Chain A
Amino acid sequence: MPELSPETLLNAALGLLIVMTLAGAVLAVTLRKVFHNLLGFGLSVIGGAGVTLILGSEFVALMQLLIFLGGIAIAMVFAVMMSTPNEQAEEPRSAGAVIPAILLGLGFTALICWAMLDGNFPQSSPYVAEAWSVKNIGLLLLTDYELPFEAISILLLAAIIGSVLIARRTREPEPSEEADRG
């Protein structure tokens, strides 16, 4: 049995993770039950986090798992469980809608792949563990990336107020709809 070098193993793991990411994405789009779509999304996120880990950024990989899987996917599961009536009848997708969508998606992918072949990405600086440390990321968030860091809080506030506002519309009807038209 030939000796497996660490590089081969790493590449194999990377390939596996990429397949996992893609398979998850395909499941998330093709399956007909919302819950199954969510599982596919989760699989895709785990694969993506694995790729990030292999590329040497532990913190980002961990955050991806925590935020996307632990936060967003779980929130979506709750939303589905609370809102979808049990076992809705599923209409089959019409070929008229699916085929153009597939063609468009494949065309876009082909275009990007074709463009990528032409791109020359600069060689990244050699891997420095220090560069991706939590300390460094914290420093960057309070210096170079302070503005987006603060602006995101405005964005989140707007999104929260907005979702409360829109949820309120469906829950309590406006008082005396007609009377104040005056």
Chain B
Amino acid sequence: MSGIYLRFLPELGLLGLALVLFFIAVGPGQEADEREPADSRRKRLIRAAIAGDRVALVGGGVVLILAILAVRQAGPLFFGAYRVALFSQVIKIILAAGLFFNIWLAQEAQSLAPRERPELMLFLSLSTLGMMMLVSADELISFYVALEIAAYSLYILVPLTRGHGDHNEAAFKYFLYGAATSAVALFGMSILFGLAGSSSIPQIATALSANPSTLAVTALLLTLGGVFFKLAVFPFHFWAPDVYQTTSHSVAAFIAGTSKVGAVAALLRLLLMGLSLDQLYWLLGALALLSMSYGNLAALAQRDFKRLLAYSGVAQGGYILLGLAALDSAAYAAASYYAIAYLALMLLCFLVVIELGRTRHGVRADGSTDNSLPIDALGGLYSRSPWLALALMIGLLGLAGVPPTAGFSGKWFLFKAILDQGGFWWVLIAGINNTIAVYYYLVVLKAAYVTPAADGATAIETSLWPRALTLSVGLGVVVLGIAPQIIMPTLQAAVSAMIGS
């Protein structure tokens, strides 16, 4: 009996955390009282916001521990609608770690009103809960509902920033694209259900493998389209630059890192059904190459650091997709490894964005916050804050795939796995792409290390928190890069177990 609860432990922990945060969000201190002076009301709201921040941080840590405790669990749950296996449990640890670090980054977030900070934590937790359920869902309706839980929370988070500005346009765009791709995915799922006569994912896999048809590939692609939107690969990426640029830094960090891991895991979950459809190989491969070429070329022209990260994300999604297209367990493991590395690198880049954002009180004429971050604003970062400059360097060099970071070993594993599958031309194009990418990452590094600081730019005081984060995540990136054997065998075993079953 206890085993059943253990299997669902990380999700239960997140649900509990979400419940506590919900009570903080609506609890005493949040109601408006006309007679109360504005000053004391503001203090009350700030106290509640800080309480929410700290509770979320502790809760995030507890969920991470629960996820680690539950790693050895395996077996079905909920009458076969949910399957706990090594693969899902490893991804859940990564997601929990991503959430924990995102909450850490979002402590005392400046670009949100204090009143809305408990809700920020609440929806970060709920979105992560959706992604965790996505990895384990073994049945299409559960898969879809989990996808929507993850997505809805983000639709709500994107417009949460001070004032009313063009972030509303970005939020609306994000919501409309999300709703449209979700409808398309649902349509694909309905065809899959019709073809298999069952909503259980293993049964669908059996039916499709026994009877592959153009319709099956089309339906699977439509279903995958709903997840491509979240990964922001080429034809589904239109929301990304606007959303990254205009939403608050904390939310952008979550969308850029943790939600990408969730998307990759969901794609893997669908592909790990053990399908070997030839058309899928070519379609996914073409999508991957388009995505990385487009993302890298568009990133070259960017003047805003967050937009640049968005386009580089489109390109990085392409690399991961290339690994998925290989339809092979080594490539799947490499793609998972790369997604983990990408999450860590994004955390480092957004640490810099958030800490710089604290010093830039960008307010527009209409009272809305300016959440953009021009590359010029990074000028002289090295002299202003060596810690942040270090975080930026590890992050960008990792994205560019320079050893000894995890970004390098991730690309190494990916390219090797694809070469083993005979995809020489794919690796060649990906390699050319990577060379282009090095240029724009170095442009940012040059701004941070060589360009002198703008007049009036003062030193940035980094407190203990960002330093600790730089050290822990930066060290993690390097250690993982030098010794990938720490997690690679686990990932390989996890992926093989999923394909085998």
> Residues on A close to B: CB < 8 A?
111-112, 114-116, 118-122, 124, 143-148, 151-152, 154-155, 158-159, 161-162, 165-166, 169-170, 172, 174-177, 179-181
Contact = CB atoms under 8 A, between A and B. Distances in A.
Contact of B213 (A119, A145, A169, A180): A119
B122 interface: yes
Given A147-B81, A151-B133, A162-B155, 17 more contacts: A112-B218, A115-B217, A116-B215, A122-B195, A147-B137, A148-B81, A148-B145, A151-B149, A158-B126, A161-B22, A161-B25, A162-B152, A165-B119, A165-B156, A170-B164, A175-B45, A176-B39
Contacts of A122: 195-197, 207
Nearest to A143: B79
Contacts of B318: none
B403 interface: no
Main secondary structure of the interface of B (DSSP, over half): helix
B162 A177 contact: yes
Nearest to B32: A172
Sorted from nearest, which 9 A-B pairs have the closest CB atoms? Answer: A119-B215, A162-B156, A147-B78, A115-B218, A118-B214, A148-B141, A147-B81, A115-B215, A151-B145
Contact of B119 (A112, A145, A155, A161): A161
Interface string B68-101: 0000000001111110000000000000000000
B161 to A, nearest CB: 10
A122 to B, nearest CB: 5
B139 interface: yes
Contacts of B467: none
A176 B137 CA distance: 45
B163 interface: yes
Interface residues of B, number: 61
A114 B145 CA distance: 29
13 contacts: A115-B217, A119-B215, A148-B139, A148-B142, A155-B149, A155-B152, A158-B126, A159-B152, A172-B32, A175-B41, A176-B38, A176-B39, A179-B38
A165 B160 contact: yes
B305 interface: no
Nearest to A142: B79
Contacts of B160: 165
Nearest to A140: B79
B146 interface: yes
B370 to A, nearest CB: 13
A154 to B, nearest CB: 6
Interface string B26-44: 0000001000001101100
B216 interface: yes
B114 interface: yes
Contacts, number: 118
Contacts of B148: 155
A37 to B, nearest CB: 16
Nearest to B215: A119
A57 B144 CA distance: 23
Contacts of B163: 177
A112 B222 CA distance: 10
B81 A179 contact: no
B146 A115 contact: no
A111 B82 CA distance: 33
B213 A118 contact: yes
Contacts of B194: 119, 121
Given A147-B142, A148-B81, A154-B126, A174 B162 contact: yes
A161 B122 contact: yes
Interface in B206-225: 207, 211, 213-219
B152 A158 contact: yes
B28 to A, nearest CB: 16
B394 interface: no
B146 A151 contact: yes
A111 B153 CA distance: 33
A119 B195 contact: yes
Nearest to A150: B78
A158 B142 contact: no
Contact of B139 (A147, A155, A172): A147
Contact of B46 (A158, A166, A180): A180
A114 B133 CA distance: 34
A175 B38 contact: yes
